[in-house]
Structure 1
């Protein structure tokens, strides 16, 4: 049996919503730090996804 693999284009993370950030310089577990880490992961996943696609399909 062959297993189907979903190779959909990765979706970018949503930025924090208004009011999610305490704006108190919390440092650890800051929603903005988490968002920037998620953006970096998204960029890596997108680059890997693009490398797997035929050149005429990626735009």
Structure 2
């Protein structure tokens, strides 16, 4: 499988400065969503690296 047909996962962008309201939103917090997206990206990247071993 070529890298063009199966590109590496793109990491999530962290929240912008001031995007967090500091209100203790729990699961709705932009930081909680970011950390979840980051964990999902790490899993997707591990799976991608299995499909595309280095050199």
Give TM class, smaller chain. Answer: 0.7 to 0.9
The TM-score normalised by the length of structure 2 is 0.85
Specify the structure having the higher radius of gyration (Cα).
1
Unaligned runs of 5+ in 2: none
Unaligned runs of 5+ in 1: none
- Mapped to 2, the partners of 1:51 and 1:28 lie a distance apart of 31
Moved over 6 A (4+): none
Aligned residues: 52
The TM-score normalised by the length of structure 1 is 0.80
- What is the root-mean-square deviation in Å for CA atoms of aligned residues? 1.4
Tell me which protein shows more helix as a share of its residues.
2
